[in-house]
């Protein structure tokens, strides 16, 4: 130490009243942590809702009329199944009023010879160019579009990226894995492109003991997302009315109930966070007012030694910044911990799809929380700092008696 | 050199104006030691604060080493204090969380201090005879030792003026003598000007000149 620095002085001051510093730090930590985890939770829920409907992954599912019960079993309990209809159903569905997006899928039930794992696997071929139900669950974005020799594995599959798994005699590279969704349909499935499925079927004739009977151009289902202002039920009725031989299954009532409950929950969390924040602001502000008040003489002495108003202002503000920075970091760490615990609980108990925002977004949110904490500290200490720096030195020294 | 001309400072207490310092004028030459005596409440501390730029006079001028300190803005006045002046108080003015050495270095936080300030601080601590207390905290020092550290701190900026407000108050006689000796040593070595407020007749007598305050009016000034 050569010269004394103001930041060093601020640190020494904070250590002086250790308990008070600790309590304030804890307060900032709690507020930051709550706010951050609430934000992440909310954006996670919004992510999940944006992806599509809670169980089906779509508002309406269009399947062959005679396979309705199989389709429901596949989607609700992930039971492997196979059924096919003509590909032109997709073009017809797309044009129905109220349909915002549509994407095709092909369900393939692998034979026991094709897979070497104990877990019951369901093969699903999808169209990556129109898909809105599968890829949003990806743990990490794929580096490049899914190739025809690649698959995506559900979270319950004992597979990792770059593993190789054969189906019907054709080996596939695992290009990515999905987040746990709480839905067997996603968690216990392997996803590949439509093109890959057709090629696999073609090759299976020569390679596989039990070849896959799949005609090119066939599909199993069309998944539909409806436009805002349309209910799934209405669009489903329209589709059934306009297209022959199909069944349009609307997402059940559960979805909208869940959405409503969630909205209420989010509002509650936001309200609590806001109240907590105002409380923290007031408490920190009051504490800093006390800090300044009981140190009046000392601050006056600093002025007598040649500290300018700016020096005094900086000293108080620096104390607040150090405090809120430390509190903010503690809060982010604690909030992160809380979140990873709650993630498991939410997915398991509520059976709600729950998606954590991506790492860059998480980093951004954490940085935002830190900035927020520091701003809180700055706000709380601003008035006390102004008050401290505007005192006349002689007055400050006298009043401190 | 300090030139004080016609300064007035009044407070209104319960609607009544109280002249704490009433048209005081005096001059102190560089290197002079003068004392200010007077009853409690006569305005000694107020006078010192006016000279030191800590409280603004209602009227009058204070010129220190050619600078009219009350014509400066607050920032410049602070810098001026940091470079040219020091204060010593009757009460303990050390920061409890800083060691002796850190307390002595405290003024360096607020200005440019060229050279090895740490070495100089150590030299000062030796001068006041507390080398072994360099890293001790104020709570581990006696009242007299604390005062000596405060005196050492007063010299870290090699001030041209030291304003001491009852620097030996509530200290025993021996320590009192130590401090007076220290002042004259510093005065001899650095040609520092001292204005010492004191109740103690003996100390006042040792000064080259004596000013007397009574009800805000200064007498004995040349
Ligand atoms: N900030 C203030 N507000 C109101 N009155 C004040 C203020 N500062 C000083 N006074 C009054 O001015 C007068 C002079 O006070 P001052 O502190 O200068 O006296 P003093 O000679 O130093 O006394 P003591 O020997 O007790 O320290 C006193 O009557 C005091 O009450
Ligand atoms: Mg006094």
- B140-156 pLDDT, tens digit each: 999 889 999 999 999 99
Residues A133 and A174 in one domain: yes
For residue B86, which of B63, B53, B44 has the smallest C-alpha distance? B53
Nearest CA in chain A to B120: A2
Q: Write down which residue in A250, A279, A299 finishes a domain.
A: A250
Chain A positions touching B54 (Cβ under 8 A) are 300, 303-304, 392-394, 397
A1 part of a folded domain: no
Is B45's C-beta closer than 6 angstroms to any atom of ligand 1? yes
Instruction: Determine what percent of chain A is predicted with pLDDT higher than 90.
Output: 32
Residues A36 and A84 in one domain: no
Q: How far is the CA of B29 from the centre of ligand 2 (A)?
A: 23
Q: Do B106 and A13 touch (CB under 8 A)?
A: no
Give the number of other Cβ atoms within 10 Å of residue A337's Cβ. Answer: 12
The atom number, within ligand 1, closest to the CA of B90 reads 27
**Adjacent-strand bridge partners of A247:** A63
pLDDT in tens, A88-111: 999 999 999 999 999 999 998 877
Mean pLDDT along residues A168-181: 86
pLDDT at A355: 61
A198 part of a folded domain: yes
Residues of B with CB under 8 A from a CB of A: 46, 49, 52, 54-56, 74-75, 78-83, 86-87, 89, 91, 93, 95-98, 102, 105-111, 113, 116-118, 157
Nearest to B55 among A6, A16, A392 (CB): A392
pLDDT in tens, B11-43: 988 888 899 999 999 999 999 999 999 999 999
Mean pLDDT along residues A357-374: 86
- Spatial neighbors of B77 by CB under 8 A, at least 6 apart, are B53, B69, B70
Residues A294 and A356 in one domain: yes
Residues A267 and A381 in one domain: yes
For residue A354, which of A37, A39, A34, A51 has the smallest C-alpha distance? A51
Q: Do B95 and A308 touch (CB under 8 A)?
A: no
Of B202 and A379, the one with more pLDDT: A379
Residues A146 and A188 in one domain: yes
Q: Starting from the CA of residue B18, give the closest ligand.
A: 1
Q: How far is the CA of B57 from the centre of ligand 1 (A)?
A: 14
Query: Counting Cβ atoms within 10 Å, is residue B67 exposed (0-12), middle (13-18) or buried (19+)?
Result: middle
User: What span, in angstroms and rounded, lies between the C-alpha atoms of B180 and B174?
Assistant: 10
User: What span, in angstroms and rounded, lies between the C-alpha atoms of A314 and A323?
Assistant: 14
Residues A278 and A325 in one domain: yes
pLDDT at B186: 85
CB A45 within 8 A of CB A354: yes
- Spatial neighbors of B82 by CB under 8 A, at least 6 apart, are A305, A306, A307, B107, B110, B111, B157
Q: How far is A2 from chain B (nearest CA, A)?
A: 6
A106 part of a folded domain: yes
pLDDT of A118 higher than 80: no
For residue A194, which of A169, A166, A222, A158 has the smallest C-alpha distance? A222
| H or E element at residue B210 | strand B209-214
Side-chain-facing half-sphere of A138: CA atoms under 13 Å = 20
CB A201 within 8 A of CB A168: yes
Please provide the CATH number assigned to the domain covering B2-219: 3.40.50.300
Chain B positions touching A18 (Cβ under 8 A) are none
Give the number of other Cβ atoms within 10 Å of residue A343's Cβ. Answer: 18
Structure tokens at A54: 């809670």
Write out the residue range of the structural domain in which residue A274 sits. 6-51+258-399
Q: In angstroms, what CA-CA distances link B134 with A10, A227, A246, A249, B125? A: 21, 78, 92, 84, 7
Q: How far is the CA of B46 from the centre of ligand 1 (A)?
A: 6
Residues 292-351 of A with CB under 8 A from B: 298, 300-311
Task: State the complex-level ipTM.
Answer: 0.94
pLDDT at B68: 95
CB A137 within 8 A of CB A355: yes
pLDDT at A180: 78
Q: How far is A284 from chain B (nearest CA, A)?
A: 22
Nearest to A301 among B93, B108, B109 (CB): B93
Chain B positions touching A300 (Cβ under 8 A) are 54
**SS3 (DSSP) at B24:** strand
The atom number, within ligand 1, closest to the CA of B216 reads 14
pLDDT at A336: 83
Of A197-201, A384-388, B31-35, B180-184, which range is least confident? B180-184
Q: Please give the DSSP secondary-structure letter assigned to residue B105.
A: H
- Spatial neighbors of B211 by CB under 8 A, at least 6 apart, are B26, B34, B35, B36, B37, B218, B219, B220, B221
Nearest to B52 among A304, A311, A392 (CB): A304
Residues A207 and A279 in one domain: no
A138 part of a folded domain: yes
Q: Starting from the CA of residue A394, give the closest ligand.
A: 1
Residue A266: band (very low, low, confident or very high) from pLDDT cuts 50, 70, 90: confident
What residue ranges do the domains of chain B occupy?
Answer: 2-219
pLDDT in tens, A190-239: 999 999 999 988 888 877 677 888 888 899 999 998 888 888 888 989 99
pLDDT of A354 higher than 70: no
User: What span, in angstroms and rounded, lies between the C-alpha atoms of A212 and A200?
Assistant: 8
Q: How far is the CA of B197 from the centre of ligand 1 (A)?
A: 13
Residues A69 and A209 in one domain: yes
Give the number of other Cβ atoms within 10 Å of residue A19's Cβ. Answer: 7
Chain A positions touching B55 (Cβ under 8 A) are 392-395
3-state SS, chain A, equals CCCCCHHHHHHHHHHHCHHHHHHHHHHHHHHHHHHHHHHHHHHHHHHHHHHCCCCCCCCEEEEEHHHHHHHHHHHHHCCCCCCCEECHHHHHHHCCCCEEEEEEEEEECCCCCCCCCCCCCEEEEECCCCCCCCHHHECCCCCCCCCCCEEEECCCCCCCCCCEEEECCEEEEEEEEECCCCCHHHHCEEEEEHHHHHHHHHHHHHHCCCCCCCCCCEECEEEEEECCCCCHHHHHHHHHHHCCCEEEEECCHHHHHHHHHHHHHHHHHHHHHHHHHHHHHHHHHHHHHHHHHHCHHHHHHHHHCCCCHHHHHHHHHHHHHHHHHHHHHHHHHHHHHHHHHHHHHHHHHHCCCCCCCCHHHHHHHHHHHHHHHHHHHHHHHHHHHHHHHHCCHHHHHHHCC
The atom number, within ligand 1, closest to the CA of B48 reads 18
| H or E element at residue B162 | strand B161-165
For residue A336, which of A377, A309, A365 has the smallest C-alpha distance? A365
Sign of CA dihedral B197, B199, B201, B203: negative
For residue A46, which of A316, A259, A302, A363 has the smallest C-alpha distance? A259
pLDDT of A113 higher than 90: no
Residue A356: band (very low, low, confident or very high) from pLDDT cuts 50, 70, 90: low
Q: How far is the CA of B152 from the centre of ligand 1 (A)?
A: 27
pLDDT at A53: 45
Q: Write down which residue in A250, A273, A302 finishes a domain.
A: A250
Residues A223 and A239 in one domain: yes
Backbone angles phi, psi at B47, to 5 degrees: -60, -45
CB A296 within 8 A of CB A54: no
Q: Write down which residue in A234, A250, A266 finishes a domain.
A: A250
CB A123 within 8 A of CB A109: yes
User: What span, in angstroms and rounded, lies between the C-alpha atoms of B44 and B196?
Assistant: 10
Interface check A20 vs B, CB under 8 A: no
Q: Do B78 and A2 touch (CB under 8 A)?
A: no
For residue A254, which of A50, A56, A79 has the smallest C-alpha distance? A56
Q: Do A306 and B98 touch (CB under 8 A)?
A: no
Q: How far is B105 from chain A (nearest CA, A)?
A: 7
For chain A, what is the domain count?
2
Q: How far is the CA of B222 from the centre of ligand 1 (A)?
A: 24
Report CA dihedral (A332, A333, A336, A341) to the nearest 10 degrees.
-140
CB A68 within 8 A of CB A74: no
A78 part of a folded domain: yes
The atom number, within ligand 1, closest to the CA of B39 reads 25
Mean pLDDT along residues A281-293: 91
pLDDT at B108: 94
Residues A243 and A301 in one domain: no
Residues A185 and A306 in one domain: no
pLDDT in tens, B54-73: 999 999 999 999 999 999 99
Backbone angles phi, psi at B210, to 5 degrees: -125, 130
User: What span, in angstroms and rounded, lies between the C-alpha atoms of B222 and B211?
Assistant: 9
pLDDT at A45: 66
Residues A291 and A345 in one domain: yes
User: What span, in angstroms and rounded, lies between the C-alpha atoms of A192 and A147?
Assistant: 8
Q: Which long-range contacts (CB under 8 A, 24 or more apart) does A156-163 make?
A: A156/A119, A156/A180, A156/A184, A156/A187, A156/A188, A157/A117, A157/A119, A157/A121, A157/A187, A157/A188, A157/A189, A157/A190, A158/A117, A158/A119
pLDDT in tens, A315-326: 999 999 999 999
pLDDT of A250 higher than 60: yes
User: What span, in angstroms and rounded, lies between the C-alpha atoms of B10 and B19?
Assistant: 4
Q: Please give the DSSP secondary-structure letter assigned to residue B32.
A: -
Structure tokens at A271: 């309200």
Of B131 and A133, the one with more pLDDT: B131
């Amino acid at each position: 130490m050569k010269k004394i620095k103001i930041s060093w002085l601020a640190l020494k001051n904070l250590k002086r009243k250790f308990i008070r510093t600790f309590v304030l730090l804890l307060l900032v930590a709690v507020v930051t942590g709550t706010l951050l985890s609430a934000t992440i939770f909310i954006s996670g829920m919004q992510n999940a809702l944006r992806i599509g409907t809670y169980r089906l992954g779509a508002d309406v599912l269009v399947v062959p009329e005679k396979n309705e019960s199989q389709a429901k079993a596949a989607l609700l309990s992930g039971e492997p199944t196979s059924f096919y209809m003509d590909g032109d159903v997709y073009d017809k569905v797309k044009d129905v009023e109220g349909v915002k997006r549509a994407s095709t899928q092909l369900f393939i039930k692998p034979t026991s010879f094709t897979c070497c794992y104990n877990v019951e696997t369901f093969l699903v071929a999808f169209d990556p160019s129109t898909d809105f139900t599968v890829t949003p669950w990806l743990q990490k974005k794929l580096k490049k579009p899914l190739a025809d020799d690649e698959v995506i594995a559900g979270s319950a599959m004992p597979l990792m990226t770059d593993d190789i798994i054969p189906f019907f005699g054709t080996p596939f590279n695992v290009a990515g894995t999905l987040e746990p969704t709480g839905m067997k349909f996603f968690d216990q499935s392997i996803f590949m492109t439509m093109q890959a499925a057709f090629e696999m079927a073609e090759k299976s004739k020569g390679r596989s003991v039990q070849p896959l009977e799949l005609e090119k151009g066939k599909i199993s289902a069309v998944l539909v997302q409806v436009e805002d202002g349309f209910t799934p039920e209405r669009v489903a009725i329209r589709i059934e009315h306009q297209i022959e031989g199909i069944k349009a299954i609307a997402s059940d009532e559960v979805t909208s109930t869940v959405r409503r409950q969630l909205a209420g929950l989010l509002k509650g969390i936001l309200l609590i966070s806001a109240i907590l924040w105002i409380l923290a602001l007031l408490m920190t502000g009051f504490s800093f007012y006390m800090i300044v008040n009981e140190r009046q003489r000392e601050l006056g002495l600093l002025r007598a030694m040649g500290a300018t108003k700016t020096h005094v202002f900086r000293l108080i503000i620096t104390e607040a910044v150090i405090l809120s920075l430390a509190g903010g970091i503690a809060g982010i760490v604690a909030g992160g911990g809380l979140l990873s615990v709650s993630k498991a609980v939410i997915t398991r108990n509520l059976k709600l799809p729950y998606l954590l925002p991506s790492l860059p977004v998480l980093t951004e949110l954490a940085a935002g929380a830190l900035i927020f904490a520091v701003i809180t500290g700055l706000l709380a200490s601003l008035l006390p700092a102004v008050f401290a720096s505007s005192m006349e030195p002689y007055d400050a020294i006298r009043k401190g008696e | 050199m300090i030139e004080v001309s016609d300064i007035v400072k009044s407070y209104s207490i319960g609607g009544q104006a109280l002249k704490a310092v009433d048209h005081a004028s005096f001059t102190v030459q560089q290197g002079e030691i003068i004392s200010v005596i007077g009853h409690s409440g006569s305005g000694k501390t107020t006078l010192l604060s006016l000279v030191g730029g800590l409280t603004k006079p209602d009227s009058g001028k204070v010129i220190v080493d050619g600078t009219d300190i009350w014509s400066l803005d607050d920032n410049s006045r602070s810098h001026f204090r940091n470079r040219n002046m020091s204060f010593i108080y009757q009460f303990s003015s050390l920061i409890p969380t800083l060691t002796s050495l850190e307390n002595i270095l405290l003024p360096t936080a607020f200005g440019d201090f060229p050279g090895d300030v740490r070495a100089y601080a150590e030299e000062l601590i030796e001068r006041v005879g507390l080398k072994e207390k360099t890293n001790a905290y104020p709570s581990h020092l006696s009242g007299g030792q604390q005062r000596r550290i405060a005196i050492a701190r007063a010299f870290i900026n090699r001030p041209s003026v030291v304003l001491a407000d009852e620097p030996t108050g509530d200290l025993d006689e021996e320590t009192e003598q130590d401090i007076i000796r220290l002042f004259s040593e510093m005065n001899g070595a650095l040609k520092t000007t001292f204005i010492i407020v004191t109740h103690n007749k003996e100390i006042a007598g040792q000064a080259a000149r004596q000013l007397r305050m009574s009800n805000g009016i200064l007498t004995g000034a040349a």
